[in-house]
Amino acid sequence: MERVKTFHRKKIVFISSVVILILLALMVRVGYLMIFEANFLQEKAEQLHNRERPIKSKRGIIYDINDIPIAVNQSVTRISVIHNQITEPEQVTKILSEKLGLSYEYVEKKVKNRVTIEIIKKNVDKTIADEIRKLGLDGVIIDEDYRRIYPYDNLAAHVLGFVGSDNQGIIGLEVQYDTFLKGKNGMIFTQTNAKGIEINNVAETREEPIDGQNLKISLDVNIQQYAEQALEKVLISKQSDKGSIIVMNPQNGEIYAMVNKPDFNLNEPFYIENKNLTNKEKEDALNQLWRNYAINDTYEPGSTFKVVTASAGLEEKVVSLTDTFYCPGYAIVADRHIRCHKYGGHGSETFLEGVQNSCNPVFMAVAERLGVERFLYYMDKFGLNEKTGVDLPGEAISIMHKKENIGPVELATMAFGQSFQITPLQLLRAGSAVVNGGYLVTPHFAVNVTDKEGNIIETFEYDTSKKAISEETSNLMGSILESVVSVGTGRNCYIPGYKIGGKTATSEKLPRSNNKYISSFLGFAPADNPQVMILVIVDEPQGIYYGGTVAAPVAKELFENILPYLGIGPIYEELDQENENID
């Protein structure tokens, strides 16, 4: 009996000790939480009872060079539901599905979702939101929002780009300058009980959003429209699916227009006409549609590149205007017959006449005189082995031979713009250096950033310190290329009263056996003080495909519109009157 009592006594002592130890552990834990974890737990408690809803900031406006808004905002609303506050889920589901044009099943799934807050639809018109608000549905939240709007739809689509539903830029200037444009979202704070239901008579607090800053760019809406209309017209007439036009100030690199066709509506950037595509096919189609061919793709420039070969030859003094050449319609280089575009040849001609005739053998001879090392030196000097630095995402870089792989045949074909690839903008930049006094400019759009009051916050500056050729050579090239338009292959760009310089090109695409061509024209005006440079590219024109026939008239039409628009009037001379009568 005594042994039983002793056992029970020990059992009680053991249990009591365990209980005491547990209580001590709990006290230590509580003390630890109260002393060391107090701030953390307080924050968690506040998070449990505080609900946050974002207030979207107003994105900065993009203005053209004349302060015309080309990317703006429209006030809309965002409709959300809070599951714990919904008292009549069926009614909420029915009304929201009808008012918002959504399926009943889609809304029902959102309404039943046990999350803090569930967004039903964004970018809802305020009129519809007001109708829903008047119904006083418990658990339905209507918040202010903004939708990005592009007033000109397709205008400069590849340049401006667009934003996603999160107000972030996706392509173009919208993503390039997103840091300035996006602003900072605000927040609405409300208090709820343990069940997640908002507490009545407790005022909500707001952290106001900070609006984005405005961006002014060099693009001119009127010049852009001229260029888009001109490109659209030539693509239709030549049954071509693709083309590009760039209009730039060669003195400072300001881009007035950049057009690519096909393009897309910035207000519906995800629209694809073919509805039968798989998700992967649709993604690929959109990526192609959004590509900015003027900077994202490379091509063989053909004879427009001859302006670089000619400049290098004159700068190195391996050729002069009066040097004579003979063109039988081809040149024999190593074991290859490389033909001129004129099958019968040009016969005897000076270097000046060779440029006017766009004679391949003349330029092959100049490249041979330069040699591989000096030829590549000028490729570098004209910025053709580097990106232009344009302020758009995704710029490609040229595809060149390695020095050790350049033999006589490669050098000869490079002389007239074949066997390597550059972007259209790289060519335009090099062409600008040829005629602007010899300086490499940085092609660009951004001019400055302003706040909502119009105060300038930042002005963008661009490098013009690199020199490609001397001013003397540049001035000489300007007069040579003016003669190409007045009496040479660029005659279809001639405009009485204006000094226009330029160079045509008809480049054969790879593989050569397909007989597909790119027609292009690089032109500038006034030739003695260039203010506008234009590059026109038409891909795979049907029928006659020569650059002087297809692309040069497009540039002429643009010059006829742009020069008077910029206040550059005609100055008639005796030769102009004669040419006018001939035409």
Q: Where are the domains of the chain?
A: 54-193+212-217, 221-266+277-582
Name the packing angle between helices 471-487 and 306-315 (round to 10°).
140
- Global pTM? 0.87
| Cβ-contact 533, 432 below 8 angstroms | yes
Is the Cβ–Cβ distance between 118 and 65 less than 8 Å?
Answer: no
Q: What is the pLDDT of residue 38?
A: 63
User: What are the structure tokens assigned to 578, written together?
Assistant: 């004669």
Predicted pLDDT at 19? 79
Positions in the chain whose pLDDT score sits under 50? 45-49, 575, 577-583
325's tokens: 């050449």
378/380 Cα distance (integer angstroms): 5
Q: What is the pLDDT of residue 83?
A: 84
* Bridge partners for 118 per DSSP: 81
Please identify, in words, the CATH class of the domain defined by 54-193+212-217.
alpha beta
Q: What is the pLDDT of residue 583?
A: 29
Q: Which of 218, 303, 519, 520 is catalytic?
A: 303
pLDDT of residue 47: 46
Q: What is the H or E stretch that residue 70 is in?
A: strand 69-81
Torsion angle of C-alpha atoms 27, 30, 31, 35, degrees rounded to 10: 180
- For the stretch 571-575, contacts whose Cβ atoms lie closer than 8 Å and that sit 24 or more positions apart, written own/partner, are 571/497, 571/498, 572/496, 572/497, 575/486
Cis before 328 (ω within 30): no
pLDDT at 25: 77
As given in the structure block, the two tokens for residue 316 are 């190195």
What does the alpha-carbon distance between residue 398 and residue 146 come to, in Å, rounded to a whole number? 40
Q: Whose structure tokens read 């069940």? A: 195
Q: Which residues contact 190 (CB under 8 A, 6 or more apart)?
A: 50, 51, 53, 198, 202, 204
- pLDDT the model gives residue 197: 53
Helix (H, G, I), strand (E, B) or coil at 282: helix
Provide the pLDDT for residue 48: 45
Q: What is the CATH number of domain 221-266+277-582?
A: 3.40.710.10
Q: Which residues, in sequence order, are bridge partners of residue 206?
A: 188
Task: Note whether 54-193+212-217 and 221-266+277-582 share their fold.
Answer: no
Model pLDDT, residue 185: 86
Q: Is 303 a catalytic residue?
A: yes
